[in-house]
Structure 1
Amino acid sequence: MNQIAARLLPDGLEPAWDIARLFPPQGGWSEEEYLSLPGNHLTEFDHGRVEVLEMPSESHQLLVAALYRALMAFVGVSRLGTVLFAPFPVKLWEGKLREPDIVFMRREHAERRHDKYWQGADLVMEVMSTDDPKRDRETKRREYAIAGIPEYWLVDPTRQTITVFILAADADCYTVRGVYGCGQEAAAESLPGFVIDVRALFENDL
């Protein structure tokens, strides 16, 4: 028996190893198996491996909720497209699926929307996680650019900033449109007119 698992269980109890054997080993998952996982879990898929993410905090979820409401209100006026929030998979390329905190797809790209996942997106937003900030700041920035997502917003609760990254035509890496702090408004490049008051966001007063 795994010694760590043994210490977490009351005396005389064994983990349900047979349940674990119902799933493929790490490295052996298919996209179909990943997308068929039951329940409402925060997981991502990386070439046969399922990554289980940290459960978000209340402060994280309040930021995500505020961003979602603001973006929904903006795109809903002119029916510009569809906005979703995690957990929902976005397929970046074959074998790679992420679950951005906020994801937007333009109405004219509706054919890229599927019931179980989207093929890319037109805008993604991430609230930086506390367990692995490098994943949002570097890894996902690189991956979203390679996937051709035109705009990426990174919200940093520690510094209370929003960084807006944009993708130039034919580029495979983002440039920084701006880093916005309290007293400023973060402005979208791909959605002219959409702005977020940074101070109001972090004060949960949007």
Structure 2
Amino acid sequence: MEIPNLPQLIEQAQRALREESRKRNEFYAWLKEDVKAEFINGHVVMQSPVKERHWTAVGNIHSLLRAYVIKNKLGRVASEKALITLKRNDYEPDVCFWKQEKAAQFTAEQMKFPAPDLVVEVLSKGTARTDRGIKFTDYAANGIAEYWIVNPGKRFVEQYTLDAQTGEYALVGTVIGSDELTAQQVAGFRVPVLSLFDEAANMQALSTILSN
């Protein structure tokens, strides 16, 4: 507040945001169902192909969460192609979950979705900086209550929850090896962390979910 040129800086920021909003609307008009892209701070970011261990982990996480959520009627789970529209940016997380009160509002033709209750990002060489940087900050700023950062190479999960007082993420723990991962936002969801990376362990965990 002590900067003499504060009004000019505010005006510049407002002009920049108006231009960014114009580009964002162009992004929405251009985006098609067969394109994987995100809109981050005024720029369209295309998503590159990923390694086998990445899509294996994404598929394993999605299958477990989706089966559990559907069975228990807790909401909706999406993988990779669901565009979440936050205050400034648009992302396509690897996996995300909305509780029933939000999911009940979705329509069959909807392409833009509100902030989820849980977001999962699986690290790759090309996305790690963004997943740990701007997405980490932006997801918290938009009230996404739980965030998992999954490392498929080293087979561990960093689990974060939103601190209501600071508005920032706090690390619940790093889950690895024979540990179990317990979701904070998906009531009762608990699986061996190995089931996120190993397909045999995944099938066993999936069988447990379906039989309980």
Which residue in the other structure is 2:208 paired with? none
In the TM superposition, what is the alpha-carbon distance from 1:38 to its structure 2 partner? 2.9
1:169 pairs with 2:164 = yes
Structure 2-normalised TM-score? 0.77
Q: Which residue identity lines up with residue 128 of structure 1 in the other structure?
A: L
1:124 pairs with 2:119 = yes
1:55 pairs with 2:49 = yes
- Answer 1 or 2: which has greater helix percent: 2
Q: How do 1:134-173 and structure 2 match up within 5 A?
A: 134-173=129-168
In the alignment, the residues of structure 2 paired with residue 48 and residue 177 of structure 1 have an alpha-carbon distance, to the nearest angstrom, of 32
Give aligned pairs, total: 180
**Structure 2, unaligned runs of 5 or more:** 1-18, 203-212
Q: 2:123 touches 2:150 (CA, 8 Å); kept in 1?
A: yes
Q: 2:180 touches 2:191 (CA, 8 Å); kept in 1?
A: yes
In the TM superposition, what is the alpha-carbon distance from 1:35 to its structure 2 partner? 2.4
Q: Pick from 163, 169, 191: which aligns with 1:196? A: 191
In the TM superposition, what is the alpha-carbon distance from 1:117 to its structure 2 partner? 1.0
Structure 1-normalised TM-score? 0.79
Which residue in the other structure is 1:100 paired with? 93
In the alignment, the residues of structure 2 paired with residue 88 and residue 203 of structure 1 have an alpha-carbon distance, to the nearest angstrom, of 25
Q: Pick from 88, 92, 98: which aligns with 2:82? A: 88
Which residue in the other structure is 1:23 paired with? none
In the alignment, the residues of structure 2 paired with residue 102 and residue 201 of structure 1 have an alpha-carbon distance, to the nearest angstrom, of 12
**Structure 1, unaligned runs of 5 or more:** 1-25
1:178 pairs with 2:150 = no
CA RMSD for the aligned pairs? 2.1
**Which secondary structure does the structure 1 equivalent of 2:133 belong to?**
helix
Moved over 6 A (4+): none
In the TM superposition, what is the alpha-carbon distance from 1:129 to its structure 2 partner? 1.6
